[in-house]
Structure formats: C-alpha cells, structure tokens
Amino acid sequence: MSVDAKLQAFSAVLPPPAKPAGVYKPVVVVGNLVYTSGHGPLCFDGTWLKGRVGAEVDQAAGYRAARQTGLSILSSVKAHLGSLDRIKRVIKTLGMVNAAPDFENHPAVINGCSDLFRELWGEDHGVGARSAVGMGSLPNNIITEIEVIFELV
C-alpha cells in the first residue's frame, strides 16, 4: 500500500506545505538523503498548535502536536519530491519540545511523530535514530519543532 493510501486509511490530512519563516529551504536533497528543516505543528487551516508542555498544554496535547508536526514535514517532502513513495526509510529525527522547566518526558511527546512514521513505513524503515530534547522556548510558542533525515528509494 502506498504511503498516501496509508495516510488516507487513518484519515490523516496533510496541511499545506509550510512557507519558510527565515532564510532556509524546507527540504534539501543531497544524493539519496532528504534533509528537512525544523517544522512545527501546522494545521490544515493554517493555524499552529501553541503552548508549553507541562504548563499551558499537557503531554497528550504535546503528542498530538508532534504527530501534526510529522504531517507538516510530510507535506513539505511531498511538495518537493512529488510523492512520499520515494522515501525508503527514516534515518534520524531530532524532536524539540517547548517545555516547562520541570517537564521531563520529552521522548513521549516526540513519539507522536515517531509513531506516525512507524505506521507509514513499518518498524524497520519507519523507526530511525532519534533525539528528543526540551527547549525553554520555540518560535512563535509552537509546541514542537522536528527535523528529519530520510533515505530515498
């Protein structure tokens, strides 16, 4: 089953590709690797999921924001490549959580994105190396920012 069909099967809607908020490219391809710039939880209606986990939002909202961030990444990659079926596997994910100083469960938040990729590409190709860290703030108070390196088919 294609990645697009899998997304449709669990009613996931890709938001419009995010426009750069600075001087950078959202997606860069070097050889058979796809590098994404940091993406946030952009929703289909153009709004962003905002707040600090452990303060204004809870861990479950953080998980949903990380999943939405994964969808935003996929939207940019699809716009750049033409098809998500060109992705072979996830190599590395860096997840950043806008967190209160006493919040300690950053990996559980970033699992929202990692679970999405595992659902799409499976355990062997959808789960790569990963870091999940807390930040004192993120741009525009977004809940999560995530960047990913993918391998092309």
Give me Rg for the CA atoms of the chain: 14
Question: CA–CA separation, 49 vs 10, rounded Å?
Answer: 21
Q: What is the pLDDT of residue 11?
A: 83
Q: What is the pLDDT of residue 125?
A: 98
CA dist list (Å): 111 to 80, 83, 137:
25, 24, 20
pTM of the model: 0.97
Q: Consecutive 10-residue runs of the chain (153 residues): their mean pLDDT? A: 88 90 96 98 95 98 98 97 96 98 98 97 97 97 98 97
Q: What is the pLDDT of residue 107?
A: 98
Specify the CATH number of the domain 3-11+25-152.
3.30.1330.40
Q: What is the pLDDT of residue 13?
A: 87
Amino acid in position 110 = I
